[in-house]
Structure 1
Amino acid sequence: MNIFEKKNRILLKELVKTDFKLRYQGSVIGYLWSVLKPIMLFLVMYLVFVKFLRFGAAVPHFAVALLLGITIWNFFSESTIVGMQAIVGRGDLLRKVSFSKSIIILSVVSNAFINLMISTTVVIIFAIINGVHFSWNVIFAVPLLFELFIFTLGIVFMISTAFVYFRDLSPVWEVVMQAGFYATPIIYPITQVSERAGNIGHYAANFMMMNPIAQIVQDMRYIFTYSNNTNPTVWQMLHNPLLIMIPYIMPIIIFFIGFWIFNRKSKKFAEVI
């Protein structure tokens, strides 16, 4: 079934609107939590890792880089955790209405993307306050956000399909996400890894940059703070063109694999759930 059919577009719009309205329904400050949540997490991380543990002490505007990294990770975390259970949670809808099942996943990731845009606006304001001077290369944030979106969508297609059949995936994924957070240069600069333990640290940092999320975080930091030596990108750290292309190509491959798996199994979702 074509995902771009009129009824699918209407359903997608309604699902996104409904989920966004229900997210903070009943809370005192409502949608402001979309802004306050990343800021509160940032303050905790900043006090613990920057002020006390002195992570990124030599990095210009590391507070901005930290907030940006947390914002990107929150989008990925929210999309995957909520998206993993989205098909099971919409079981009644699947049994009653005929539509493209991928709409459910797309609505979850789109909703998280709206929050990402709100949080990114906060990051920009915070960066300006901290004296960051933006250059024309900030336009490259657009393809990076698209890369982040399709990579996340591909992962959610995979894990939401797996969750229909294996409900134990939920606690496993929580552990994976926790490990992934610390294995991605978010609360610390990648140079802190590459400059330690000699060649081991160098190879470890290069390996970490094969992760598309790490590549996106570093590229976005480079765009926002323009600090070459302290926030290096994968194309500054590696010299092999084939290795450089891995994290950029991987999101496209994962998206198509995830979409293929999802579509192949989606016909039986209503029966299994």
Structure 2
Amino acid sequence: MTEISERAFHSPGRGRGLVDALKNRYLLRLLVDKELQVRYRGSVLGILWSYVKPGVQFIVFYIALGVFLELNKGLDNYAVYLFSGIILLNFFGEAFGNGARCMVGNGALIKKIYLPRELFSVSTIWVALVHFLPQLLVLLIACFVVGWRPGPMQLGAAVVAMIIMVIFSFGLGLIFGVANVFFRDAENIVDLLVMVLTWLSPVMYSWERVAAAVPAWGLHLYLSNPITVAVELFHFAFWAPTLEGEWHVPPHLLTLWTPVAVVVALLFMLVGDLLFRKFEGTFAQEL
């Protein structure tokens, strides 16, 4: 009788998480194409909705907050300041929200065949990036119009900000994607979190208002949020180079809080990957 090593067998329905997802790039591309085609099937505007939604958000926030509440006072080029934060938060909201729903949304496929399930989570990041790029193009045009003069440090800050948001939204999407398989209430929690984090981030107002309203430990807690750091890095990259005078970044933004944000985002991704690998073997049964 031929002996077969037990190492040749794996627990059914369980893979190596992100490693398997990255090795199946062809399947990833198919999933991204599927998500985009399904989303815009029967749509007249199609990908143009990537411009319409942030445009409407910008107009509403600019009029309600910038004009009526006069939050634009003391912030030159407030339109650039506002829009640079909006598009970053839109990316986070889409990547996080779709990541939390992707397992349930692809339940029929998960129950029929086996493929690396983390591919669904990775595909939501790529779909969010596809929608983010047109918004970034609009931001760049606006920046050049008002005299954008970035240096290497500002361009590097924009790249780091996107890396933080990709990792953080991916990690949260994994955690809530697992939770949503077992408890559908997770979807509603995600919507609440996106709303809360939007208003707790310095998108419509400056971080200096927070510093003036909370004690030092509260500001430190505020700056330990990866979203806050990413938004401020985007302001540093796109808004600050359009100003004539000097703009004061949060204390130790580049030397302390950016590394903290990277570490926090990586921890969330690690926890999400571990939870995903632990429970993905039961997804088919639960769905």
TM-score when normalising by structure 2: 0.85
Residue of structure 1 in register with 2:252 after alignment: 235
Residue of structure 1 in register with 2:47 after alignment: 31
Distance 2:25 2:122 in 1: 11
Task: Verify the 8 A CA contact 2:229 2:261 in the aligned structure 1.
Answer: yes
Shift of 1:257: 1.1
Alignment of 1:166-185 (within 5 A): 166-185=183-202
Residue 64 of structure 2 aligns to which amino acid in structure 1? V
Residue 101 of structure 2 aligns to which amino acid in structure 1? Q
RMSD across aligned C-alpha pairs, in angstroms?
2.1
Residue 218 of structure 1 aligns to which amino acid in structure 2? E
Question: Alignment length, in residue pairs?
Answer: 265
Residue of structure 1 in register with 2:128 after alignment: 112
Deviation per CA, 1:136-185: give whole Å up to 9, x if none: 32331223212211111111000000011111122222222222211111
The answer to whether structure 1 residue 4 and structure 2 residue 6 are counterparts is: no
Distance 2:258 2:85 in 1: 21
Match of 1:130 among 146, 157, 170: 146
User: Highest CA radius of gyration, 1 or 2?
Assistant: 2
Match of 1:258 among 272, 275, 278: 272
Residue 170 of structure 1 aligns to which amino acid in structure 2? E
Task: Verify the 8 A CA contact 2:28 2:123 in the aligned structure 1.
Answer: yes
Shift of 1:26: 1.9
Task: Verify the 8 A CA contact 2:81 2:235 in the aligned structure 1.
Answer: yes
The answer to whether structure 1 residue 219 and structure 2 residue 233 are counterparts is: yes
SS of equivalent to 1:26: coil
Which sections of structure 1, spanning at least 5 residues, go unmatched?
none
TM-score when normalising by structure 1: 0.90
Shift of 1:231: 5.6
Residue 102 of structure 2 aligns to which amino acid in structure 1? A
Task: Verify the 8 A CA contact 2:154 2:236 in the aligned structure 1.
Answer: no
Residue 188 of structure 1 aligns to which amino acid in structure 2? Y
Distance 2:174 2:280 in 1: 10
Residue 12 of structure 1 aligns to which amino acid in structure 2? L
Distance 1:19 1:202 in 2: 44
Shift of 1:15: 0.9
The answer to whether structure 1 residue 13 and structure 2 residue 47 are counterparts is: no
Residue of structure 2 in register with 1:161 after alignment: 178
The answer to whether structure 1 residue 191 and structure 2 residue 205 are counterparts is: no
Q: 1:234 to 1:35 in 2, by over 3 A?
A: farther
The answer to whether structure 1 residue 82 and structure 2 residue 67 are counterparts is: no
Shift of 1:204: 3.0
Shift of 1:79: 1.4
Q: 1:170 to 1:12 in 2, by over 3 A?
A: same
Task: Verify the 8 A CA contact 1:59 1:230 in the aligned structure 2.
Answer: no
Task: Verify the 8 A CA contact 1:218 1:231 in the aligned structure 2.
Answer: no
Residue 34 of structure 2 aligns to which amino acid in structure 1? T
Deviation per CA, 1:190-212: give whole Å up to 9, x if none: 1122134xxx3554333211100
Distance 1:209 1:80 in 2: 20
Distance 1:67 1:58 in 2: 17
